[in-house]
Structure 1
Amino acid sequence: MAELSTDAYWRAPPIARTVATITFGLSCAVHTGVLAGDLFYYDFRYLLRIPPQVWRIVTCFLITFPNLGILFDTFHMYMYMSQLERGHPRLSRREDFVWYLTFVSGTILILSHLTGFGFGVLTQALLLAMAYTVTQEQRGQQTNYMFIQIPSQLVPFAMMAINLFFPGGIGIVLLQLHGLAAAHLYLFLSKIWPEVAGGRNWIQTPAFISSLVNGVAPAPQRPAVAGARVPDAASGRSSGASRGPLPDSWRTRGPGHRLG
């Protein structure tokens, strides 16, 4: 059973798996007092210090609610992130998904500054942003949320409405609205404006993101020359010879002669 669980863990989408694991571990450490939460909350003043505490712009999205919130928030983090990583039509490449997370998280931080709320933990905003991005591609489908069947695209609004029944729910909803605005801005710039209005996609994945995700940029391909035979790259490196159209077993028969 343990081997099956381990195999299932490593078969999970790598980014979603890694982020959910860090979120669970960091949240447990903070809420149990093993680590001081003040080291990971977002505060712009700490970015201006020497050296700047730049990790805060990441860790502020990885701390859940306490108690059962650790389980539920980590579950939703993995669920929505894995759906985006596996099957979203505009996030088919890993670098596109990394850029999506960067854009949405950065927009949430900027909106938090502009509105003046100064939230220290922004996990709920990111969760709602991912839920919005996932469900907007599921229009026409039904989703079971809190044992009630609702249209999929209404799930983010149901997530905000349910928080109004809990203490401090209005503040959480205000935070979630930052995520809703960030996700809708991404949807507008990447889909609605280019596809509906005929404009340009201004937030295409930057080349440096692709280079970072893929390790190194792919080598440029030389243009093909008419009549020239292109050698196989692997055999060219190992033997320096061109394989040609014939099987390897025929290559031992000698150089051959042209007929006619």
Structure 2
Amino acid sequence: MSSEIMSAYWATPPIARTLATAIFVTSVLLRVKLIPGYWIYFHEHFLFMLPPQVWRLATNFLVAGPGLGIIMDPYFTFQYLRQLETANPKFLRREDLIWYLVTVGGLTILISRAIMGSGFFFLGGLIIALAYTANQDQRGVQTNFLFFTVPAQAVPYCMLGITVLIDPPSIWVEISGLLAAHLYDFLTRLWPEFGGGPNLLATPRFVSWLIKTPRILQRRYGTAVSPPTARATGGSTGASEGPVLPDSWKTRGSGHRLGGS
């Protein structure tokens, strides 16, 4: 039985599996006081210490909300990331999805701390951003949110509404995440397509070098075929690489979210 569970676990998409597991394990260790919250929360002054505590840029996203948040946050994180990792043409390569997490997470921190002056843990903002990205192209599709059926693109705003009711102080972190997702979409899709400009948040080459995705990636949850590069096609076809598509989730805590899809 345990071997079947582990086989099912390892068969899941790796990025979604890794992040959801990290959130759950970190949150449990924090609750049982095996690690202090002081080690992982974010504040900009830690970045100017010697040596700079840069790990806080990542660890602040690994703390689930109180109560059922310890289960729901990792679950919904996994659900949305799984949909982006396996069914969204914008993220055909693993490095593109990882760069999305880096840029949207960074924008969430920047907006929340620099503009709104709030937040030490930002998982709630990342969850809202994932929900927006996963549902933005699902116009006309109906999905379940708690006990209601709503248009898929309305899910992030329903999540904000629940936050206003059950944890008002967290609303600013989640609004920051929503703004970060909007900004990412504008800079990577709307501006290049309708403004004629470049993709301002394109995945850097060093990220692609660090995380190499095979040309054809066979996996138990699907097959991904990365678009050929100009070098691979001889650079004369004029073909360009492509991206975009999604799904839904939610939960709550010090900047987290609760809901259903």
- So what's the TM-score if we normalise by structure 1? 0.79
AA at the equivalent of 2:176: H
- 1:52-110 alpha-carbon deviations (Å, 9 max, x no partner): 21111000011011221100111111111111111112111101101111110111121
Hey, what does 1:7 align to over in structure 2? 7
Hey, what does 1:99 align to over in structure 2? 99
Hey, what does 1:71 align to over in structure 2? 71
AA at the equivalent of 2:145: Y
Task: Give the alignment of 1:15-30 within 5 angstroms.
Answer: 15-30=15-30
Could you tell me whether the CA contact under 8 Å between 2:118 and 2:172 is conserved in 1? Answer: no
Partners of 1:20 and 1:56 in 2: CA distance = 18
Helix, strand or coil: the match of 1:202?
coil
111-120 vs 66-75, greater mean Cα deviation: 111-120
AA at the equivalent of 2:211: V
Could you tell me whether the CA contact under 8 Å between 1:31 and 1:66 is conserved in 2? Answer: no
Deviation at 1:197, TM superposition (A): 3.1
AA at the equivalent of 2:169: G
Task: Give the alignment of 1:213-224 within 5 angstroms.
Answer: 213-214=211-212
Compare relative contact order (CA 8 Å, sep 6+) and give the higher one, 1 or 2: 2
Hey, what does 1:127 align to over in structure 2? 127
206-215 vs 27-36, greater mean Cα deviation: 206-215
Partners of 1:69 and 1:113 in 2: CA distance = 23
Hey, what does 1:189 align to over in structure 2? 187
AA at the equivalent of 2:205: A
- 1:140-185 alpha-carbon deviations (Å, 9 max, x no partner): 101111021000000000001011221xx22211110000000001
Could you tell me whether the CA contact under 8 Å between 2:118 and 2:173 is conserved in 1? Answer: no
Could you tell me whether the CA contact under 8 Å between 1:40 and 1:56 is conserved in 2? Answer: yes
The answer to whether 1:178 aligns with 2:176 is yes
The answer to whether 1:210 aligns with 2:208 is yes
AA at the equivalent of 1:198: G
Task: Give the alignment of 1:159-170 within 5 angstroms.
Answer: 159-166=159-166, 169-170=167-168
Hey, what does 2:57 align to over in structure 1? 57
Could you tell me whether the CA contact under 8 Å between 2:108 and 2:173 is conserved in 1? Answer: no
Q: Which ranges of structure 1 fall in alignment gaps of 5 or more residues?
A: 224-260
Hey, what does 1:111 align to over in structure 2? 111
Helix, strand or coil: the match of 1:33?
coil
Hey, what does 2:254 align to over in structure 1? none
Q: Which has the larger radius of gyration?
A: 1
Q: Which runs of 4+ in 1 moved over 6 A?
A: 220-223
Note the aligned Cα RMSD (angstroms). Answer: 2.0
Hey, what does 1:31 align to over in structure 2? 31
Hey, what does 2:45 align to over in structure 1? 45
- 1:9-56 alpha-carbon deviations (Å, 9 max, x no partner): 111110110111110000011122121011100011112111221111
Distance 1:142 1:50, change over 3 A: same
Deviation at 1:196, TM superposition (A): 2.8
Helix, strand or coil: the match of 1:84?
helix
